[in-house]
Structure 1
Amino acid sequence: MGSGVGWTFDAMDVGLISFVIAQLAVVWGTDATTLGWVASAGFVGMAVGAAVGGLLADRIGRRQVFALTLLVYGVATGASAFAGGVAVLMVLRFVVGLGLGAELPVASTLVSEFAPPRIRGRAVVVLESFWAVGWILAAVIGYLVVPSGDDGWRWALALGALPALYSVVVRRGLPESVRFLQARGRHAEAERVVADLEASRAVGHGGLTGAQVRDAAQSPAAQGPAGLPAATSDPAVTSAPTASSTAAERLPSTGEPAPRLAALWAPALRRRTTALWVVWFTVNFAYYGAFIWLPSVLAADGHTLVRSFAYTLIITLGQLPGYAAAAVLVETWGRRRTLAAFLAGSAVAAGAFAAASGDAQIIGAGLLLSFFNLGAWGALYAVTPELYPTRMRTTGAGWAAGIGRTASVLAPLAVPQLRELGGTGLLFTVFAAVFVVAALGALALPDHTGESLT
């Protein structure tokens, strides 16, 4: 729940900028290319933040980085409300992006390391579903607050400062990952986390029990120090441990060294890293290209600003059932099949949007795109942390997200040019083709449904 609230704030911030740039086109008279740079500045920050945040989280801990990122982007979003010009807004959006980019892969890794193997994928998709809640909140704020006056966009961004306050709650109340503490040789701290969770459960506060935490960290190997499960070798990196291997051999008491980026390209990991980066790049390009510009595209096609905001709000509602379907299917179909299927569905929906003419067709195709695209996001966040061992998990997830963010930088800049060349039809045809590439990349990923993390 703690990670989910942070995820909600993330989505609200990213979603708000789509409504802000639509109003700035009217209030400031800013051209589409410049507005594209306002959106892209945040994604440049997200690309950097995702890569750096992942590395930091594998060194100093998931919780520490999670709290810091909330503080950074919350303060920067609030400051954006006072921007007096485009240049200042771009700089602040970059800082916002640093926090957002670092937070997302860290939160999904934290949840995946706490969840038991049998429900791990579903737990991560449920976390991702908070994104839909945040985007819906952004759409409500965009519909009710942004059009209220020339300074409506400022009030909307001021609401985005809430994560700065929530960072204090995270820092004080969210437990550190037991798996991370074990991998770093901090066994006493890991024991305290388990004991605290058991005590919390005993007094009726709910949450995971100590047994569930151990289940989440459980591997096929022997138990580690003080009864905590030892981390096993990743069969993709080293040979499988023998039955006679000791816990100490698997998890040195001094902790494992922090990973380097080159470790992601070890021969046994090279294929999955390549496929994962392709999927992250293409999904980011199509998603942010479509949804960041959606209110502006609808307005440019002849709808009033208020009506385009209303249509965007309706279309956004399709995200929640998409996540719900993915949460079930990742555990029954498996990660890879679910991800590929939802990406293929996204391609069909984007093609339908390209051909849509009337209002009913636009809303219908938009709802389908929300359903499939956000279901794909849920499956992608479920599969990503499972592809790497604990010592490099957030490094792998962070760099995949960082590569994806480079596409989210390019997409807002490409949209005005594509619309100029062939209108909304060409734009969404391109997105459909990109989703097809993403689906093919997903089929090349390994599937670890129901397996223990290593």
Structure 2
Amino acid sequence: MSDVTSESRSPVHEPPELPERRMAWWRELPARGKRAVVGAFLGFGLDSYDFWVLPLSLTAIAATFGLSGGQTGLLATTTLVASAIGGVAAGVLADRIGRVRTLMITVIAYALFTALCGLAPNYETLLVFRALQGVGFGGEWATGAILVAEYATARHRGRAVAVIQSSWAVGWGAAVLMYTLVFNLFDQDVAWRVLFLTGALPALAVIWIRRRVVDAPVYTERRTQAARGSLRAIFRTDLLRTTVFAALLATGCQGGYYTIATWLPAFLKTERGLSVVGTGGYLFFLITGAFAGYLTGGYFTDRLGRKNTFRLFAVLSGALLLLYTQLPASTGSAVMYLGFPLGFCASAIFSGFGSFLAELYPSRARGAGQGFTYNFGRALGAFFPAAIGFLSGQLGIGGAMAFGAFAYALAFVALFWLPETRNAELA
């Protein structure tokens, strides 16, 4: 097991937090730490933008290339499986060459290949480009989350890393706005290509990151030791159980989330009969809920503990996913408003990942541990969208999406074999 103090495993009862202390996590960061937060926020927000252009374009891509439901789902699954490879590689690389340098490499990779997807002449080429985009996409989150976790204090680490997680909703919202604009200006055969081409813009963030962001002292002071770290370290006796169950936790959370992320736009169009603008309206409630969930989830992880927060939102996310997809079409407005709590809970469950995984591993294996477990979860979770694509032929998209609720049950069970790490100092 990783080095977690006995004090961090016990409940800590703290007095209610005063309003003026709610931004203490930011004020306590050094100037370099604040720049790291901005750099990681930009990287992950733009990462989100480049991910979302695919789910938003799935219907148009399927029409352009004449794809079946299984082929359409395979695009999303390929992205996520490739992201697992990229995430593991980036985690090891972050331990060897540094968090910031690895962050820049991942941003350039996902921006370049997202743009190239817009130029793909056929389905097979698009599949290859999307896989290569996934390599960069997978590596960015783990690298940015570790960078911020190593700057933040133990007491406020959950909230600091949750702010980075909230940028996912910002990128998602930007993608929906661009999708609404582009698909109203162009025919769908051209619109999805234009949307992918806008994915090159995140590469500009690298210029700012390169000039302003540096690695945290907790990494640089131990760099000689950390540079010897490798993927093998997280499978040694002291870390093996942590690695196995952290990977299962990530699988459950991401299997449920990517069910929603991949198939919800198609569900709204095909089974709710919504237009581009109508879909945007439904997604507005989901995205605003997601943004609130990311920020609030960070508060819960610091107040209730990492494990209790995961448990709470796993149960709520599974229940809300079933409600959202199984309510009859006649309850249209009710389903629209249900998008806010669904987005809130499905996103809040991720707020604790950055801090929890960083606290489970020592510095010598932190990049490899976080990169492997989170992205292993992506790889297995990626099969949920593909399975739903195949099941949709018999059950419809809404009926097939209910399968995603089982993923949240897996996350709940995995927590029984992991320690509580709230208030743990990074080893």
Tell me the number of residue pairs that the alignment of Structure 1 and Structure 2 aligns. 385
State the structure with more CA Rg.
Answer: 1
Q: Name the counterpart of 2:137.
A: 100
Matched, 1:153 2:124: no
Deviation digits for residues 389-427 of structure 1 (CA, Å, limit 9, x no counterpart): 001001000101221121243122111222223234532
Q: Name the counterpart of 1:331.
A: 302
Q: Name the counterpart of 2:213.
A: 174
Matched, 1:5 2:42: yes
Q: Name the counterpart of 2:322.
A: 351
Matched, 1:66 2:103: yes
* AA at the equivalent of 2:355: A
Deviates more, 1:397-406 or 1:442-451: 442-451
Give aligned-pair identity as a percent.
28
Matched, 1:129 2:100: no
TM-score w.r.t. length of structure 2: 0.86
Matched, 1:17 2:54: yes
* AA at the equivalent of 1:36: G
Q: Name the counterpart of 1:301.
A: 271
User: Match of 2:176, SS?
Assistant: helix
Question: Cα distance, 1:261 vs. partner?
Answer: 2.6
Which runs of no fewer than 5 residues in structure 2 stay unpaired? Answer: 1-37
User: Match of 1:377, SS?
Assistant: coil
Deviates more, 1:110-119 or 1:174-183: 174-183
Matched, 1:426 2:399: yes
The separation in 2 between residues aligned to 1:279 and 1:114, in whole angstroms, is: 25
Q: Name the counterpart of 2:251.
A: 281
Question: Cα distance, 1:184 vs. partner?
Answer: 1.7
The separation in 2 between residues aligned to 1:115 and 1:157, in whole angstroms, is: 35
Structure 1 stretches of at least 4 aligned residues deviating more than 3 Å after TM superposition: 26-29
The separation in 2 between residues aligned to 1:365 and 1:437, in whole angstroms, is: 24
The separation in 2 between residues aligned to 1:77 and 1:9, in whole angstroms, is: 11
Q: Name the counterpart of 1:243.
A: none
- How much is the aligned-residue C-alpha RMSD, in angstroms? 1.7
Q: Are the structure 2 counterparts of residues 132 and 347 from structure 1 closer, same or farther at C-alpha, using a change threshold of 3 Å?
A: same
* AA at the equivalent of 1:326: G
Contact between 2:95 and 2:226, CA under 8 Å: does it hold in 1?
no
* AA at the equivalent of 1:264: I
The separation in 2 between residues aligned to 1:382 and 1:406, in whole angstroms, is: 21
Contact between 2:388 and 2:401, CA under 8 Å: does it hold in 1?
no
Deviation digits for residues 319-370 of structure 1 (CA, Å, limit 9, x no counterpart): 0111122121111111111111111111111121233112123223332221
Note the 1:41-440 alignment, pairs <5 A: 41-150=78-187, 151-185=190-224, 255=225, 258-306=228-276, 307-357=278-328, 358-440=331-413
* AA at the equivalent of 2:88: A
Contact between 2:96 and 2:226, CA under 8 Å: does it hold in 1?
no
Deviates more, 1:288-297 or 1:352-361: 352-361
Contact between 1:296 and 1:308, CA under 8 Å: does it hold in 2?
no
Which runs of no fewer than 5 residues in structure 1 stay unpaired? Answer: 186-254
Q: Name the counterpart of 1:444.
A: 417
The separation in 1 between residues aligned to 2:380 and 2:318, in whole angstroms, is: 17
The separation in 2 between residues aligned to 1:407 and 1:297, in whole angstroms, is: 22
The separation in 2 between residues aligned to 1:132 and 1:265, in whole angstroms, is: 33
* AA at the equivalent of 2:253: V
